[in-house]
Amino acid sequence: MPIDFEFTEEQEMFRETSREFGKNEIEPLVEEYEKKEEFPKHLFPILGEMGFLGVVFPEEYGGVGLDKVTECVFAEEMGKICAGIAMCINAHVDLACLPIWKNGTEEQRQKYLVPAIQGEIIGSLALTEPNAGSDARGIRAQAEKKGDKYILNGSKTWITNGCIADFHVVAAYTDKSNKGGGISLFIVDSDAPGFQVARKIEKLGHHSADTGELVFENCEVPVENLLGGTEGAFQAVMDTLIAARITHSVKSVGLATAAFEYALQYSKERDAFGRPISKFQAISFKLADMATKIETARLLAYKAAWLYDQGKRCVKEASMAKMYAAEIVQWVTSEAVQILGGYGYAVEFPVERYYRDAKLSSITEGTSEIQHIIIGRELGI
């Protein structure tokens, strides 16, 4: 069987469309919303109309019916434009919409997935808690069934889209005696009694990404909002994270590419000692290493996406792609700052933002340390 590393003609066209959309619709907003530290919510209906929110979802729900590789093409292009804005889009699609499609009832798909694909409503996944990040089984949120409702109590933090979401896919224990296996997922509307956004979290980077802390105090959730209609959804959480890690890896690749391309162009234009600094071996070797490592991360990411599309087990590959891209984007953006020198440290130049944004890559969607553990486990260690 031949190995083909080329994208299809349709995927290349989709990349061009994504690139033009990013340049025309998102790039002009980046600096404004970075300063506001807000996500431009008005983008969601536009993203929905263009089909960018429904790439992997079936046409019967308003999706485009394509594959994970094509979704990653879009995510990579958005990562080049703005990591913060890209993160909110990815969280909506991969963390909120995907579990509803994969595990929800038909009623839940019609009520939440269809308008979410159109960009009419925004979603989030509320998993992380103040005392439970990497250890998802360690969450303390609980939901108790009482009549035709579940009463949900607990708090969530570091929730992307947390302050702006219309609905939240919330993880909580329905059976505390069954560690991990007793976790269920609930779709909680933002106007549900007992729910509130406690605060918006200020961050080092990703300023245009909305990140919130949520509180559920005797929050009333209708029984029909139990995801899939059955309790016990820990595997659904894990499956969602695998898909999200693949997308996150290409977002990191996009961010690293943006930093590399800016540093490359700068090095060709900046003169020192009578010639462009790109002609000095110290700089040219940096650029060569940056390009090589970015390409390696890209290959890992798209291989994981391809395996996912083939229905093959890709736990190891998704973690490899996510972990490696996260480490590389931090190194590449640091080198980009170094190549620009003092200008790389100035807010007038985008590499300063790239550098700040890169750090989150090794923390969110499972830290790099957790990815090492997963990879080791998959190796039988």
Q: Are residues 58 and 136 in the same domain?
A: no
For the stretch 15-37, pLDDT in tens is 999 999 999 999 999 999 999 99
Task: Please indicate, yes or no, if residue 183 is contained in any of the structural domains.
Answer: yes
CATH code of the domain containing 335: 1.20.140.10
Any domain includes 1: no
| Whether residue 71 sits in one domain with residue 176 | no
pTM, to two decimals: 0.96
Question: Distance between the two ends of the chain, CA-based, in angstroms?
Answer: 31
CATH number at residue 149: 2.40.110.10
Regarding whether 355 and 241 lie in a shared domain, the answer is yes
In terms of domains, do 188 and 245 share one? no
Examine residue 349 and state whether it is found in any structural domain, yes or no: yes
State whether 77 and 114 are in the same domain.
yes
Same domain, 217 and 242: no
- Range of the structural domain that residue 55 is part of: 9-122
Is residue 256 domain-shared with residue 135, that is, in the same domain? Answer: no
- pLDDT number for residue 2: 64
Specify the number of domains making up the chain. 3
Grade residue 4 by pLDDT with cuts at 50, 70 and 90. Answer: confident
Contact 250, 325 (CB under 8 A): yes
How many of the other CB atoms lie within 10 Å of CB of 356?
Answer: 18
CA separation for the pair 192, 69 (Å, rounded): 36
Domain boundary among 233, 267, 297: 233
- Asked whether residue 111 falls in the same domain as residue 35, the answer is yes
Cα torsion for 174, 177, 178, 182, to the nearest 10°?
10
Q: What is the pLDDT of residues 127-139, one digit of tens each?
A: 999 999 888 899 9
In a domain, 29, yes or no: yes
Same domain, 271 and 258: yes
pLDDT for the residue numbered 168: 98
Residue that is last in its domain, among 122, 144, 176: 122
Q: Residues 244, 361: one domain?
A: yes
Last residue of a domain, one of 92, 122, 152: 122
Query: What whole-number distance in Å separates Cα of residue 170 and Cα of residue 14?
Result: 33
Which two tokens mark 341? 């020198």
Residues 208 and 294 in one domain: no
Nearest to 229 by CA among 195, 185, 285, 265: 185
Which residues are known catalytic residues? Answer: 365
Whether 180 and 281 map to the same domain: the answer is no
319 within a domain of the structure (yes/no): yes
**pLDDT tens digits for range 175-189:** 999 998 999 999 999
pLDDT digits (tens, 9 = 90+) for 320-379: 999 999 999 999 999 999 999 999 999 999 999 999 999 999 999 999 999 999 999 999
CATH code of the domain in which 71 resides: 1.10.540.10
The answer to the question of residue 88 being in a domain is yes
- Residue 3 within any structural domain of the chain: no
Nearest to 115, CA basis, from 142, 139, 96, 134? 96
